[in-house]
């Protein structure tokens, strides 16, 4: 969908529909909504008086304009209570309106910038949120559905602003929103792809293609390279599958004056059956999305490159399947990670931390700092936080705080869990340096403690997206299936590091 900013009067724009808005409790619409109301001979005011339009968040009222103004339809969307209005309300409203109009078969939509008037939002941020919500909400994954969709997609979204001097500011917001939302949708595409279309090899090829398009440095380590580097933990997980593992590296160099490089590490389990400690079959298909962390890293780096941020970033994605083949890891096996630590594998289903152990060791060897890893790591994190927030853990409060803040701006909730020393005890092994599971209780934290043995003293944050990476229901801009969560958070974090400077 094309998103454009135009100066003018929304009643004079030829479009299938015009979107205006109303805060809850407002009886006499002002601003652009007021202009549209007058042009429609007070139709909106009348519907307010009759109680049909209340202004509740995401309430949509359709009015056919019958030639009174250029747009064929007007929809009045409720913005909710003004004191509860946030940038995320804008994303939500934009998504609901676009989905509603798509169902009506509308191809060209004109909208005002919600929240930039009496809502008091900065126009640039409001335009960004509007763009994000629209593009994210209209996302579909129909690649493998042969039946034509019942309705097509909206082709054009015009953001109409009466004050021409505001256009460049709004355009900047649109550009940012477009890059962030499209990167999120790219992550969704990679995650939604079933495991037979997204093997480690496919994932490496997808990353290669993106690197070529975006001018990123690209490399991939094969099994032999992993052996030379001593990545015994990643190789251990991979040995149960016929698909060769890949260690994918993407680098963006936006600041030649600095030696610092941010390291993003993403879990790339293209399918997690659990291995010999096999998972129950019910719901196992969800484990095609166990590479969500890796997809997030690929998409975030693409967006960082498009924004030309003055920063250096390297993404590392260990990619493999976890299958119970004849050569598979067995409970009790002992592996040696790249940093020399030995690991007793008490549960082959705790494979994510094994591949991340080698990726974090490699990241440290490369001197990347700070480090952020993103992984669908534990069912325990999902039990603790549900699908509402992503779990955060780490060894450096400053970095954790920045990540949480970057999430707030993106409308992505992150909740920190504790890393008390006592949890470390649970990972003690009698036969190796550490074991790969500390048991059921506190499972999200003991998994993070395991990772901390490999990030060591590098400033590091771990994000567990097991609960947030897939949505089982449709809710405004979060559609069913992969959410693409943390792409926008990571890019915001990188923008913070770059001081929002562009080259």
- Write out the DSSP string of 103-167: HTT--EEEE--TTSSTT---HHHHHHHHHHHHHHHT----TT--SPPSS----EEEEEES-GGGH
**Is residue 353 flagged as an active site residue?**
yes
Using the contact rule CB under 6 A, the part of the chain among 177-185, 302-310, 313-321, 347-355 near ligand BES is 347-355
CA distance 484 to 468: 9
Shorter beta-carbon distance to ligand BES: residue 382 or 488: 382
**Sign of the dihedral through C-alpha 273, 278, 279, 282:** positive
Q: Which of residues 284-303 bind Zn ion (CB under 5 A)?
A: 290
Using the contact rule CB under 6 A, the part of the chain among 189-197, 343-351, 392-400, 455-463 near ligand BES is 343-351
**Is residue 56 flagged as an active site residue?**
no
Q: Of 96, 349, 387, 453, which one interacts with Mn ion (CB under 5 A)?
A: 349
Q: Which of residues 370-399 bind ligand BES (CB under 6 A)?
A: 376-380, 382
CB 151 within 8 A of CB 158: no
- Site for Zn ion contains 272 (CB under 5 A): yes
Query: What tokens appear for 251 in the block?
Result: 């680098």
Shorter beta-carbon distance to Zn ion: residue 318 or 394: 318
Q: How far is CA 295 from CA 5, 189, 431, in A?
A: 31, 9, 35
Shorter beta-carbon distance to ligand BES: residue 65 or 376: 376
Q: Give the CB-side neighbour count of residue 432, counting CA atoms within 13 A.
A: 18
Shorter beta-carbon distance to ligand BES: residue 80 or 442: 442
CB of 377 to ligand BES, least distance (A): 6
CA distance 335 to 228: 15
CB of 187 to Mn ion, least distance (A): 20
Q: Of 268, 352, 407, 438, which one interacts with Zn ion (CB under 5 A)?
A: 352
φ and ψ of 343, to 5 deg: -130, 125
Q: Inter-axis angle of helices 443-455 and 352-365, to 10 degrees? A: 30
Of 73, 353, 435, 488, the catalytic one is 353
Query: What tokens appear for 351 in the block?
Result: 């494979």
Site string for ligand BES, 439-458 (x = CB under 6 A): ----x---------------
| DSSP code of residue 13 | S
In the chain the first and final C-alpha atoms are separated, in Å, by 27
Q: Of 119, 254, 352, 407, which one interacts with ligand BES (CB under 6 A)?
A: 352
Of 56, 68, 166, 279, the catalytic one is 279
- Site for Zn ion contains 409 (CB under 5 A): no
- Site for ligand BES contains 351 (CB under 6 A): yes
Binding interface with Mn ion (CB under 5 A): 272, 349, 351
Residues that bind ligand BES (CB under 6 A): 272, 290, 347, 349-352, 376-380, 382, 437, 443, 466
Catalytic residues, which ones? 279, 353
């Amino acid at each position: 969908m094309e998103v454009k900013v135009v100066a003018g009067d929304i009643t004079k724009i030829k479009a299938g529909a015009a979107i205006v808005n109303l805060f809850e409790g407002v009886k006499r619409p002002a601003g652009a909504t007021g202009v549209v109301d007058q042009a429609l001979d007070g139709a909106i005011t009348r519907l307010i008086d009759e109680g049909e339009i209340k202004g509740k968040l995401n309430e949509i009222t359709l009015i056919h304009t019958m030639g009174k103004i250029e747009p064929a339809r007007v929809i009045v969307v409720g913005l909710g209570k003004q004191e509860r209005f946030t940038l995320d309300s804008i994303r939500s409203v934009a998504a609901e309106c676009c989905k509603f109009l798509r169902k009506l078969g509308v191809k060209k939509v004109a909208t005002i910038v919600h929240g930039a008037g009496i809502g008091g939002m900065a126009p640039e941020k409001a335009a960004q949120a509007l763009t994000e919500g629209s593009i994210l909400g209209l996302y579909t994954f129909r690649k493998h559905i042969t039946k034509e969709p019942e309705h097509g997609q909206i082709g054009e979204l015009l953001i109409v602003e009466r004050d021409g001097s505001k256009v460049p500011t709004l355009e900047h917001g649109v550009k940012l929103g477009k890059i962030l939302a499209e990167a999120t949708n790219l992550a969704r595409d990679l995650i939604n792809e079933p495991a037979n279309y997204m093997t480690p090899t496919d994932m490496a090829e997808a990353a290669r293609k993106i690197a070529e398009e975006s001018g990123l440095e690209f490399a991939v380590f094969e099994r032999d390279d992993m052996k030379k580097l001593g990545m015994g933990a990643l190789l251990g997980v991979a040995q149960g599958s016929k698909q060769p593992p890949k260690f994918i590296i993407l680098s963006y160099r936006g600041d030649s004056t600095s030696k610092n490089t941010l390291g993003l590490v993403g879990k790339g389990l293209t399918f997690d059956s659990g291995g010999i400690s096999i998972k129950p079959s019910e719901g196992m298909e969800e484990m095609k999305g166990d590479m969500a962390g890796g997809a997030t890293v690929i998409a975030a780096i693409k967006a960082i490159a498009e924004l030309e941020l003055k920063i250096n970033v390297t993404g590392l994605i260990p990619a493999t399947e976890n299958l119970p083949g004849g050569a598979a890891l067995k409970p009790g096996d002992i592996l040696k990670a790249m940093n020399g630590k030995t690991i007793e594998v008490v549960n082959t289903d705790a494979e994510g931390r094994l591949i991340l152990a080698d990726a974090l060791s490699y990241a440290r060897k490369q001197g990347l700092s700070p480090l952020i890893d993103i992984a669908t790591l534990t069912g325990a994190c999902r039990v603790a936080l549900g699908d509402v927030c992503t779990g955060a853990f780490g060894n450096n409060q400053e970095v954790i705080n920045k990540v949480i803040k970057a999430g707030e701006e993106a409308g992505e909730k992150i909740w920190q869990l504790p890393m008390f020393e006592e949890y470390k005890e649970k990972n003690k092994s009698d036969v190796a340096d550490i074991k790969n599971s500390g048991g059921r209780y506190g499972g999200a934290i003991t998994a993070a403690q395991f990772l901390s043995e490999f990030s060591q003293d590098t400033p590091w944050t771990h994000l567990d997206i097991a609960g947030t990476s897939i949505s089982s229901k449709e809710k405004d801009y979060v559609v069913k299936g992969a959410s693409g969560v943390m792409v926008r958070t990571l890019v915001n974090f990188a923008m913070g590091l770059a001081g929002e400077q562009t080259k």
